[in-house]
């Protein structure tokens, strides 16, 4: 295979999210954990990669079922979040590796639940993710398994936020995933990849248990255009899928939680020796939510990584 772009090597990262008496939604940021939000290994093993990721999400439209709904049905008006993730991956050899991701979120929440519009702003550490990787299934490391935990390190007690809007869930979650890469056509100029990540909460915290979530990505990418010696521009096209079940517990909003959605994510990556810069725009193609929830008309991802 020709060198794999960051959009294929970066593959598993943050987790979920709404305020008092509100019906916002668990934001769907779990989809950032697939495709470009975690690391596929290289082709030889024994390397280390550091990366920094910025994800943007602005939930400003009320949605019910598979279509838009009147804003008056939901007291929440806007949930705008910046997700910053610092991560590192190390491959001990061609078969085994580890990854750690440390997120920090900055969230603005606007609601009219008490009558007059009220805004809350909060920034805090998110839920840290620890992952192991097994890549010994195929000789070229094109197949891999991911397994690990999401830890309850994020703040889940901020006043004004409901439990599904808090930066942390307060729960420990089991993470299970897999990925596959393959070449397309005899020339080898095009390649494809697929990845899925399952998030299974193992416990509840003070009456709240987030819904189980499955996030998946499938994409194709070209070998790229050589701009200069050691510099290439690589186009990437992905389809992202999320399916989350209802939150449960006395502190959960069961009726207004859970969703299914599909997004198209065109992106570009600039490869410059050991440095990779990646950006994409993620647009909803289909989305279904239970009850009334806020959804985003678009979301975006930016990643920079360095491999040594």
| pLDDT per residue of the chain (308 residues) written in tens, 0 to 9 | 444 554 444 443 332 222 233 344 445 555 555 554 334 555 556 788 999 999 999 999 999 999 999 988 888 889 999 999 999 999 898 899 999 999 999 999 998 866 678 899 999 999 999 999 998 888 877 889 999 999 999 999 998 898 999 999 999 999 999 999 888 877 778 889 999 999 999 999 999 999 999 999 999 988 888 898 889 999 999 999 999 999 999 999 999 999 999 999 999 999 898 899 999 999 999 999 999 999 999 999 999 999 88
Local structure of residue 153 (DSSP, 8 states): -
| Helices of type H across the chain | 6-9
Phi, psi of 185 (to 5 degrees): 80, 160
Helix (H) or strand (E) holding 188: none
How far apart are alpha carbons 123 and 221 in whole angstroms? 35
CATH architecture, domain defined by 6-307 = Beta Barrel (2.40)
Sequence-ordered list of residues with C-beta below 8 angstroms from that of 238, at least 6 positions apart, any chain = 7, 35, 36, 217, 218, 219, 264, 265, 266, 267, 280
Q: Decide if 141 contacts 42 (C-beta within 8 A).
A: yes
How far apart are alpha carbons 234 and 243 in whole angstroms? 29
Question: Domain map of the chain by residue range?
Answer: 6-307
Report the alpha-carbon angle 175-178-183, nearest 5. 155
Q: Identify the three-state secondary structure at position 218.
A: strand
How far apart are alpha carbons 240 and 217 in whole angstroms? 5
Sequence-ordered list of residues with C-beta below 8 angstroms from that of 122, at least 6 positions apart, any chain = 106, 107, 109, 155, 158, 160, 161, 167
Q: What residues pair up with 107 in beta bridges, in sequence order?
A: 81, 122
Q: What residues pair up with 54 in beta bridges, in sequence order?
A: 84, 302
């Amino acid at each position: 295979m020709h060198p794999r772009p960051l959009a294929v090597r970066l593959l598993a990262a943050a987790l979920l999210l709404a305020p008092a008496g509100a019906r916002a939604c668990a934001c769907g940021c779990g989809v950032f954990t697939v495709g470009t939000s975690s690391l596929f290994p290289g082709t030889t093993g024994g390397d280390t990669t550091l990366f920094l990721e910025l994800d943007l999400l602005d939930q400003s439209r009320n949605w019910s079922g598979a279509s838009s709904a009147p804003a008056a049905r939901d007291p929440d008006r806007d949930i705008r979040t910046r997700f910053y993730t610092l991560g590192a991956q190390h491959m001990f050899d061609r078969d085994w590796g580890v990854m750690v991701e440390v997120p920090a979120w900055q969230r603005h929440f606007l609601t009219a639940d008490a009558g007059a519009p009220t805004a809350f702003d909060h920034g805090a550490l998110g839920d840290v993710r620890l992952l192991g990787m097994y890549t010994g299934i195929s000789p070229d490391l094109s197949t891999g398994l991911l397994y690990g935990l999401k830890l309850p390190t994020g703040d889940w007690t901020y006043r004004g936020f409901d439990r599904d809007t808090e930066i942390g869930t307060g729960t420990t979650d089991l993470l299970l995933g897999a990925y596959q890469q393959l070449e397309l056509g005899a020339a080898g100029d095009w390649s494809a990849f697929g990845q899925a990540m399952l998030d299974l909460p193992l416990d509840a915290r003070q009456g709240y248990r987030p819904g189980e979530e499955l996030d998946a990505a499938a994409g194709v990418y070209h070998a790229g255009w050589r701009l200069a010696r050691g510099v290439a521009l690589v186009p990437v096209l992905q389809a992202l899928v999320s399916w989350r079940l209802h939150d449960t517990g006395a502190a959960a909003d069961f009726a207004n939680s859970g969703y299914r959605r599909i997004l198209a994510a065109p992106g570009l990556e600039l490869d410059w020796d050991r440095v990779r810069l990646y950006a994409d725009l993620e647009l909803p193609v289909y989305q279904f939510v239970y009850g009334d929830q806020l959804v985003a008309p678009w979301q975006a991802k930016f990643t920079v990584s360095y491999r040594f």
